Amino acid sequence: MKSEIGKLATDLKNFIKSSDEDDLVFCSGKNNLTQVKDNKPSQAEFTGKNATDCADKAVVMEQLASQINSCARCDLGATRIKAVPGEGNINAKLMFIGEGPGYEEDRQGRPFVGKAGQLLDKIIAAMGFAREEVFIANMVKCHPMIDASDPDKRGNDRAPNFDEIAVCRRYIEQQINTILPDYVVALGGVAAKSLIMEAASLSSIRGKIYDLRLSAVELKKPVKIIATFHPAALLRNPGWKKDAWTDLKVLLAAMGRAPAPRQ
C-alpha cells in the first residue's frame, strides 16, 4: 500500500513536471542561463552561499519575475494592476510568505507595503533582521478581489482560492528552490495550509518547525518551515501578537539567533 502511494506521488510529480516544463525555470545548467542572460541585465553577479548547482540566482529570479509580470494563467491576471513577484535578498536565510497582494501591493508591485506590511516590518526588526536581509513573497502573485469589477474599492481584498493557489504555486516553489533559504515563515492560514498541511488548521500547526516539501519541484536542499499568524490577523486581533512572538522565538532559537534588543 505504502509503495503504491509512493508511486502515485512520483507519477503525479512527473506529470506536473512534464506538463509545465516549458515554463519552469531550472537553476541547474549554464545553457539555460546563457539564454536568459541574452535579454536580462547584469545584476547577475552570483554571490550566494546557498547556491548548489545554480550558476546565477539573480538571473533565474529575474526570469521568474518577468514570467510572473506577464502571467495570465488565471483570472487574477486580467484584473491586477501590477503583479507582485516578491522582493528582498535572493541569498536570504529566511523567507516570509503571505497569501496574496492587497490594494496597496497591487498598485506598487511590491509585497507587504500596506498596513499589514508595516507590522511585518516591525516583526522582522524585532527578530533582529533588516527587511532587505530577508525575502518576502506571497502564495499568489496578483490581487484577489471580492469584486473584481471595482479595483479602486477599499476593503475589496479576499484570500486566494484553491484554484488560484494551484495555478500560481509553481512561482513560489521555484522562488524557494532558487533562494534556498534555511527557513520559511508561512504567514497565516493560506500559506501554512498550502505549504505545510492542507487539512490542518493554522492553530494546530503554528509554532512548530516542519520540513518543507514542494509539489512541483524537488528541493535542492532541506528547507524548514514554521507558520504563525498573518500580520493582518494580528492587526484585527492584537491579543494574538504574544502568541505570534512565541512562534517566532521558536524559529529564532532554531536559527541560533537572539531577538533584537528591546527599544
Query: Binding of ligand URA at residue 160 (CB under 6 A)?
Result: no
Residue 146 gets which letter from DSSP?
A: S
Among 87, 99, 106, 164, binds ligand URA (CB under 6 A): 99
Our finding on whether 112 is near ligand URA (CB under 6 A) is yes
Phi, psi of 190 (to 5 degrees): -65, -50
Q: Do the Cβ atoms of 181 and 92 come closer than 8 Å?
A: yes
Does 207 interact with ligand URA (rule: CB under 6 A)? no
- The answer to whether residue 100 forms part of the interface with ligand URA (CB under 6 A) is yes
Q: Rounded to the nearest whole angstrom, what is the least distance from the CB of residue 4 to ligand URA in the complex?
A: 37
The answer for residues whose C-beta is within 8 angstroms of residue 87's C-beta and 6 or more apart is 110, 111, 135, 136, 137
- Range in contact with ligand URA (rule: CB under 6 A) among 9-17, 74-82, 92-100, 238-246: 92-100
Torsion, Cα 102 122 170 203, to 10 degrees, reads -90
Indicate which single residue of 48, 85, 88, 101 sits in contact with ligand URA (rule: CB under 6 A): 101
Amino acid at 67: Q
Neighbours of 219 (CB within 10 A): 14
171 interacts with ligand URA by CB under 6 A: no
Which residue of 105, 106, 164, 173 would you call a contact of ligand URA, by CB under 6 A? Answer: 105
Stretch of residues binding ligand URA (CB under 6 A), selected from 3-11, 16-24, 63-71, 97-105: 97-105
94-98, strands of its sheet edge to edge: 87-88, 135-138, 94-98, 183-187, 224-228, 209-211
> Looking at 63, 138, 175, 178, which residue binds ligand URA (CB under 6 A)?
138
| C-alpha to C-alpha distance for 189 and 233, rounded to whole angstroms | 10
Give me the residues that bind ligand URA (CB under 6 A), please. 98-102, 105, 111-112, 114, 116-117, 138, 232
